[in-house]
Structure 1
Amino acid sequence: MSQLSQFFAQNQFCVLIEYLTSLKETYPVTTSFAGFPSVMTLADRVHTDNDLAPLDAVKGYPDEIDKLLHFAGKGRDIAEFKQFLHQAEAQSLHNLLLLTGDKLKQHQDGEGGVSRTRYLESVNAVMAAKQHGGFCIGVAFNPFKYTEAEIDAQYFKLHKKIKAGADFIISQLGYDMAALQQLQTFLQQHCYSQKLLACVMPLSLARAKFMLQQQVAGIVITPQMIKLLEQEKAAGLSERVYARCALQILICQHLGFAGVHLSACHKPEEQQLLQSYIEQYRNLDLASCQQMWHTLWQDQAGERFRPIVQQYAQQVSLGQIVKYQQLHLMHDTVFNSKLGRGIGHMIFNRGFWNKKPAAKALLKTELLSKHSVVGCDNCGQCRLADTLYICPETCPKGLANGPCGGTSLDRCEFGDRECIHSVKARLAKAVQQTDVLKAQLIEAVPVEVRGSSSWKNWYLQDEPHH
């Protein structure tokens, strides 16, 4: 059992301290932070797509130090992740934080003849790690969402992550404590036993401006927050950044969180300053910590942390409902009925389809019949029945199990469309199919399957692929 697993088992509040593998120097690592046990975490592909891999970065730190490795699925396949699991096991590394990952800097959209970039989503990584066994598996979750469909889509996927085998949950970086408590309430209401940690960061003006200007995926930085940080810097009160971070950590401890994931605080002098504020406030009760938190943010209601949301709700159209009903009926008749499966098996169980001209003609026919209707991209493993006939290939990352954490007010991280998972969440509620989005674990499409006929693959398997 890893040290992190022991902390969880013993209900010890712990601090996970993040180190970036892109850093050019190795910083001292501690096993205790302000009296709390600590574990180092190594981030994956944060600054660049070519950052040193965490599996390689760990070699610069003592073996006896417990470590949490991040694995971002951007630009990676399930086979590559399974190889990573064997390598981690061989190095006696048993703590994992499995992420879909934000947009690759070198993302390719498939236009101009280039191969499309695809992402291994966290649900599939958790499934594989759980099947492998021997790992303490963490997932990320973003509770800082502010439209109904966006919130629903995130929580639907969290159900899946937990069902897939997650042992603990780390929130996205954020400062809206009401949203963090909503996440905690969700876990309690559903009797989920997974440990919950909050991602925290001493939010300086420079960091806040960078995240706002660069539109860092999934992180909510409002103009009101920037304004306060500017006022504090002008008044020489920049140390309040660390005071607030200390209070957020202590509030999480009082609320019963399992710990925090501390980002952007790897330098010894920064850690010492933060620890000094934790010690200063350690004896305060929850109410006193919360009052001081609101006072330092000059915001009693928490409105400073929330984006302005337009006062209207997107609605599901009658056309979307009818399209779903028609496709659902067709799928059940052609692909799921005994007659349909029997005929399909008889047609495709012939060597004729293995010949190159026939295979090419079949693939083209399938693409022409489905692309204009649902956006099919010849994935070879059709998942439409599990995604309410909204094709995951129309997501830039190709995510089938639910959204990434990078959406903003229903908009895709890529900024050029509405998130298909928000659309799907609205439709699911309208047609009373939310259980599908909560419980149906959709397997990753192997690279070798792509570019083949999903029709032929469907009919020639013993049972439908779920």
Structure 2
Amino acid sequence: MLREALREQRFICVVEFVPGLSGERGAVFESMMQRAQLGHWPMVAAVADRVSSSQDLSPLAAYSRLTHSLPTLLHFSGKDRGRHDLLRQLEQMDAAGLDQLLLLSGDRLPGHEPGQPVRYLESVPALQIVRQARPSWLLGAALNPFKYHEEEGGAQYFKAEKKLAAGADFLTLQLGFDAQKHREARQWMQRRAVPVPLLACVMPLTFKTATLLEQVPGVVISPSMRDLLAAEEAVSRAHARERSLFRLGLQIIGLRLMGYAGIHLSGIHTPAQLQALEQMIHAQQEGIQTLAQWSAAWEPSWQVSGLPTVTFHPAYADWHMGESGVRATVREQYRYHVLSAVHTLLFSRRNPISRGFGWLCRRPVWRIPRGARWLHQLERCLKGPAVGCYTCGSCRLEDTLYVCPETCPKGLANGPCGGTRLNRCEFGDRECIHSVKYRTATTTGQTHVLTERLIPCVEADTRHQSSWPRWFTPAVEGKHHGRRVPDDAIKKTK
């Protein structure tokens, strides 16, 4: 149903179910989905993955407990997972007759602290893996446009370009309430040579919900939003719930008028809530036929007498697409140019020094255990202080502007997750490395590196060994980011 609706450009409602540890709410969710439609819009189930913890009931296990077959979009979260986990899920989905998948890197794994060896299978290589293994499947990925510094906002769109190149058939926006950012994402998609459908994640927002969402990475609840929600809650909880449903219905109507292909509905848990939302949409639709009429209703819905006008952006930060003014620092530029020169000298394979270094790295001595350990220690001692190298065994510095992806707590190489706040990493202890990459790319004219080069995941068996022998392994010409790659790397992508 989802595939058909997207192809036929019919607005669709994807309803999210979070199984939790036991999936005890599955029966209620199933009864809600038996309605089949929200108004006259078809509904599709979406089963979330590892939202609370890695111990949550898996999407496939939750789906198997349903007593009736439902059109379903499963999620796959890359938290603490690798290629083999994804391929195993594909086989299980084949057995269940499912062929629709939303691929996400995932929020921070509970209990994961910086420095711990937890890695995330990020969405770009996950899309490549699935697209190659199941060419006909319907695949989606996420985009978070609710960013208010240029670096984090621009990096989001750079990574979205990669997701589409890797095989995403549609994108789902992460949760947000800023209509200007919804328009921005839609305009970005319309400017692409081959646009794909966009869905938008929505949910009812009360003061209690907002308090919880403030702890969710990447979700923006501004102080003025919080003040308005608190004022509504002070009237009564019933009043606050009614206002939240009113704005949710209004937001859905607006997204449809903006040209979104559908919504990804969260926070609606019972048939009664769904029916109340449907009634709210019906009551509003008759008087709202254009975006101008919608704006005239949307803005007052965020106003309360005695409070200032609500703004959806954080204080002192309100970047919009098209605005560009950031530059890499002198140190960041110097670092890039020096490391680029060193890379060309030693690893380009085009000059005598590089060819000589390659000959040295291919000597049989490095294949014996003691030699391999010594070379590994040498590479880590040299590159660790310079770039924070963890010797992943498959160096990607050329593709990341010499900012080591292993210094991201999630190990993301292709771009940021959605969890940054004003350039700060989701873990809160550093600036997002992808913001640094964005500044470096825009200043040095290398933005194509961050939009065009799809970086494969690091295989577990390559970690903690030197990358140098692999780099100089006899290579074949292939379509792999336009670069020469080792034979064994090409075999792993087949």
Smaller-chain TM-score range? over 0.9
Do the aligned partners of 1:74 and 1:104 also contact (CA within 8 Å) in 2? yes
Question: 2:481: which partner in 1?
Answer: none
Aligned equivalents of 2:463, 2:69: Cα separation in 1 = 42
5 Å-filtered alignment, 1:74-85, equals: 74-85=79-90
Shift in Å at residue 81 of structure 1?
1.0
* Distance change (3 Å), C-alpha of 1:166 and 1:370: same
In the alignment, structure 1 residue 277 sits paired with structure 2 residue 280: yes
User: How far off its partner does 1:193 sit?
Assistant: 2.0
Question: After superposition, what is the alpha-carbon deviation per residue over 1:295-339, rounded to whole angstroms, capped at 9, x for unaligned?
Answer: 111299985211112699764222221221121122122112334
**Does the CA contact (< 8 Å) of 1:222 and 1:306 recur in 2?**
yes
Alignment of 1:309 onto 2:310: no
Cα distance change of structure 1 residues 157 and 301 upon mapping to structure 2, 3 Å threshold: farther
Q: 2:250 aligns with which of 238, 247, 250?
A: 247
1:88 to 57, 77, 93: 93
1:348 lines up with 2:369 in the alignment: no
Give the alignment of 1:136-285 within 5 angstroms.
136-212=138-214, 215-236=215-236, 237-238=239-240, 239-283=242-286, 284-285=288-289
Aligned-pair CA distance for 1:170 = 0.6
Q: Which amino acid aligns with 1:350?
A: R
8 Å contact from structure 2 (residues 224, 310) kept in 1 = no
The Cα shift of 1:461 comes to 4.5
Report if the CA contact (8 A) 2:225-2:312 is conserved: yes
Aligned to 1:7: 5
Alignment-derived partner of residue 322 in structure 2: none
Q: Provide the secondary structure at the position in 2 that maps to 1:179.
A: helix
How far off its partner does 1:106 sit?
Answer: 2.6
Displacement, 1:394?
A: 0.6
CA pair 461-376 structure 1, distance change in 2 beyond 3 A = farther
Contact kept, 8 Å, 1:309 with 1:409, in 2: the verdict is no
Q: After alignment, is 413-422 or 345-354 more displaced?
A: 345-354
Asked whether the equivalents of residues 73 and 120 of structure 1 are also in contact (C-alpha less than 8 Å), the reply is yes
Q: Name the stretch that deviates more: 140-149 or 315-324.
A: 315-324
Shift of 1:63: 5.5
Distance 1:346 1:231 in 2: 71
- Match of 2:461, SS state, is coil
- The answer (yes or no) to whether the contact 2:349–2:358 under 8 Å persists in 1 is no
1:15 and 1:187 map into 2 onto residues whose CA distance is: 20
Distance in 2 separating the partners of 1:271 and 1:370 = 55
Corresponding residue of 1:50: 55
After TM superposition, the structure 1 stretch with the greater mean CA deviation from structure 2, 364-373 or 80-89, is 80-89
Among candidates 295, 314, 325, match of residue 337 of structure 2: 325
Residues 301 and 142 (structure 1 numbering): CA distance in 2 closer, same or farther, change over 3 Å? farther
The residue that corresponds to 2:131 in the other structure is 130
The Cα of 1:420 is off from its aligned counterpart by 0.5
Structure 1 vs Structure 2 CA RMSD: 2.0
Residue in 1 that maps onto 2:485: 464
Inter-CA distance 275–340: structure 2 relative to 1 (3 Å threshold): farther
CA contact (8 A) 2:225 2:310 kept: no
Query: Residue 457 of structure 2: which of 444, 454, 464 is its match?
Result: 444
One-letter amino acid of the counterpart of residue 6, structure 2: F
Corresponding residue to 2:349 among 337, 341, 346:
337
CA contact (8 A) 2:388 2:406 kept: yes
Contact 2:327 2:443 (C-alpha < 8 Å) held by counterparts: no
Q: Measure the CA separation in 1 of the matches of 2:333 and 2:113.
A: 32
C-alpha offsets along residues 117-170 of structure 1, whole Å, 9 cap, x if unaligned? 000101111111111122111111100000111111111101101111110011
Report if the CA contact (8 A) 1:44-1:72 is conserved. Answer: yes
Point out where structure 1 has 5 or more consecutive residues left out of the alignment.
Answer: none
SS in 1 for 2:311: helix
User: Is the contact between residue 146 and residue 309 of structure 1 (CA under 8 Å) also seen in structure 2?
Assistant: no
Structure 1 residues 17 and 164, CA, compared in 2 at 3 Å: closer, same or farther?
same
Q: Name structure 2 gaps, 5 residues minimum.
A: 320-324, 476-483, 490-494
SS of 2:46's partner is strand
Deviation at 1:192, TM superposition (A): 3.2
Aligned to 2:387: 374
Is the CA contact 2:19–2:25 (under 8 Å) kept in the aligned structure 1? no
Distance 1:88 1:69 in 2: 9
Between the aligned residues of both structures, percent identity stands at 39
User: 1:376-406 deviations in whole A, cap 9, x for unaligned?
Assistant: 0010000000000000011000100000000
Name the CA shift for 1:427/1:303 in 2 (closer, same or farther; >3 Å): farther
Partner SS, residue 64 of structure 1: coil
Q: Distance in 2 between matches of 1:127 and 1:70?
A: 16
8 Å Cα contact 1:176/1:302 also seen in 2: no
Match of 1:68 in 2: 73
Residue 232 of structure 1, CA deviation? 1.3
Measure, in 2, the Cα distance between the counterparts of 1:311 and 1:161.
Answer: 26
SS for the counterpart of 2:485 is coil
Deviation at 1:341, TM superposition (A): 5.4
The match for 2:302 among 279, 293, 297 is 297
- In 1: Cα distance, 2:318 partner to 2:98 partner: 48
Task: Work out which of the residue numbers 2, 14, 24 in structure 2 matches 1:16.
Answer: 14
Supply the distance in 2 between the matched residues of 1:388 and 1:179 (Cα, whole angstroms): 28
Q: What amino acid sits opposite 2:347 in the alignment?
A: F
Q: Distance in 2 between matches of 1:52 and 1:450?
A: 30
TM normalised by structure 2 equals 0.89
For the residue of structure 2 that corresponds to 1:304, the secondary structure is: coil
- How many angstroms does 1:340 deviate by? 4.9
**Deviates most, 146-155 or 303-312:** 303-312
Distance 1:91 1:341 in 2: 52
SS of equivalent to 1:51: coil
Task: Give the CA deviation at 1:260.
Answer: 0.2
Deviation, structure 1 residue 108? 4.7
Rounded to whole Å, the distance in 2 between the matches of 1:411 and 1:123 is 22
